[in-house]
Amino acid sequence: MLRLLLALNFFPSIQVAENKILVKQSPMLVVNDNEVNLSCKYTYNLFSKEFRASLYKGADSAVEVCAVNGNHSHPLQSTNKEFNCTVKVGNETVTFYLQDLYVNQTDIYFCKLEVLYPPPYIDNEKSNGTIIHVKDEE
């Protein structure tokens, strides 16, 4: 009986570790011509999955900049009205193309990936983010 209880306590901790996605982002990007490409590389293959990939602005991730929903062959994009953003989806990479950036949009940006289907729901651990520094045009 003790072995069974130990085994039941052991497996849930393994499952939690497997149900997280890691993300890699560049630590800093400098914007000289008011546009930048931010690539988010995931430890998860998006092919044949229904997902939502989004980019958030601010240390508390309070502002959603843009997002893409759907699957690999039918992505549907949405953008915050304050940003000009397009998204390209690869098997393990989502790239956000930000254009017409202003100096006041300098901030830290975080990538988020959620796998919605098939179950179970999985999302990424919060990364260190990317500081996007928009330089003033001279």
What tens digit of pLDDT does each residue of 68-115 get? 998 877 888 888 889 999 999 988 999 999 999 999 999 999 999 999
Residue 15 has pLDDT above 80, yes or no: no
Q: Where are the domains of the chain?
A: 23-134
Say what the pLDDT of residue 75 is.
Answer: 80
**Higher local confidence (pLDDT), 32 or 60:** 60
Q: Are 106 and 132 in contact (CB under 8 A)?
A: yes
pTM: 0.82
Q: How many angstroms separate the CA atoms of 20 and 110, rounded?
A: 16
CA torsion through residues 14, 19, 20, 21, sign: positive
Q: Alpha-carbon torsion 69, 75, 81, 86, what sign?
A: positive
- Proportion of the chain above pLDDT 70, given as a percent: 86
Radius of gyration of the chain (CA): 18
d(CA 35, CA 43): 27
Question: pLDDT at position 91, please?
Answer: 87
pLDDT confidence band for 54 (50 / 70 / 90): very high
**CATH 2.60.40.10 correct for 23-134:** yes
The residue with tokens 């179970």 is: 120
Handedness of CA 55, 61, 63, 69 (dihedral sign): positive
